[in-house]
Amino acid sequence: MKLRPAPSPDGDKSSLTGDMSLNRRQFLRYGFNAASGVLAATLGALGFAAILLPPSGGEGGDKSVLYWAKGREDEAWYGTKHLQPMMKSDFEAEAAKSNVGMSGAQGVWNGLPVIVNYVPHSQNSSKPIADNSPRFQEMAGYDIGKNYVGHATEYLLGNPDIFDPSGNLVMSFARCTHLCCIPGWQLVSNSFTDDNWTPGGGDDGGSKMFCICHSSRFDPTAIEVNRNANRSTGASFEYLGIRRAGGPAPVGLPIIPIIMNGDTIEASSDYTGWLTYCD
């Protein structure tokens, strides 16, 4: 596993040719998984319902989504924005630097880890499907037993408020469905996090969300219906999520509906039952 190299102060990447393999100390620093270990432990101790209590005492919880760059202040594009509100224009500006027009960032919402991805769907949806023209893809979903669960298009017809396919942003809960580490948006540099894109939600590399713990991959452009279960009670639930592309994670990550407030990214707490599998 290769860590994504941090830029040197003078922008000279020739100084980054040393060993960038991951060791434990780097894991602790670079892994949002581990950097937010306190957060994860807190989640485990309090349970999700407690976390979702409105911090301000207002009804419906805190809608705002904040950047989370702890431990990555020097290399994440949003490193200077730690705990500032996420803005769509920030994602658009960052996406303009990408080969494929995508960008993503770690965030925190209501005390929960999330990942927001910008996909140039509106720009590409009328073009023929082709490599390196990312778009959201509504797909069939299968559970851990390979049983068909449903199709995203059908699900969205019945639940049109979950995800607006004409928009360019998608937000996912960032607890891995394998063992509940916190996946990141391209925390490492390897074939799964290259700046390229192929259609189909497969595992052929490029622009994936990556769980550093055991290398699970998730494709933020592949939208599917899936099924997961609460680890304590076994109660199962179906949800709209992004697809697991590879690795030991059994299923994909739930979507958290985005609510735009001008340029500011906020989120809805209407589907919190989907987020309980690590409780």
**Count of residues engaged in binding ligand FES, rule: CB under 6 A:** 11
Indicate the residue among 108 and 176 with the shorter CB distance to ligand FES: 176
How far is it, in rounded angstroms, from Cα 91 to Cα 268? 20
Binding of ligand FES by 202 (CB under 6 A): no
| Segment (H or E) for 124 | helix 121-124
Within residues 68-127, the interface with ligand FES by CB under 6 A covers none
- We find the least distance from the C-beta atom of residue 186 to ligand FES, in angstroms, to be 15
Least distance from C-beta 244 to ligand FES, angstroms?
10
- Label residue 168 left, alpha or beta by phi (over 0 means left) and psi (-120 to 50 means alpha): alpha
Q: By CB under 6 A, which span of 190-198, 210-218, 237-245, 257-265 interacts with ligand FES?
A: 210-218
Q: Minimal distance in Å, beta carbon 6 to ligand FES? A: 23
Closest distance to ligand FES from the beta carbon of 78 (Å): 22
The alpha carbon dihedral of 194, 205, 187, 104 has a sign of positive
Binding mask 144-183 for ligand FES (x = CB under 6 A): --------------------------------x-xx-x--
Closest CA to 137 of 196, 210, 219, 195: 219
Q: Based on CB atoms, which residue is closest to ligand FES, 156 or 211?
A: 211
Return contacts of 152-158, CB within 8 angstroms, 24+ apart: 152/223, 152/224, 152/225, 152/240, 154/225, 155/225, 155/240, 156/240
Minimal distance in Å, beta carbon 209 to ligand FES? 10
The first and second tokens of residue 187, run together, are 């925390």
Q: Rounded CA gap, 197 and 136, in Å? A: 12
Residue with tokens 């209501």, as numbered in its chain: 110
* 211 forms part of the interface with ligand FES (CB under 6 A): yes
CB of 226 to ligand FES, least distance (A): 16
Of 213, 245, 253, 278, the one binding ligand FES by CB under 6 A: 213
Count CB-CB contacts under 10 A for residue 38.
Answer: 10
- Whether 252 and 244 have beta carbons less than 8 Å apart is answered as yes
Interface residues for ligand FES in 243-272 (CB under 6 A)? 247-249
Q: Which of 216, 226, 272, 276 binds ligand FES (CB under 6 A)?
A: 216
Residues making contact with ligand FES (CB under 6 A): 176, 178-179, 181, 211, 213-214, 216, 247-249
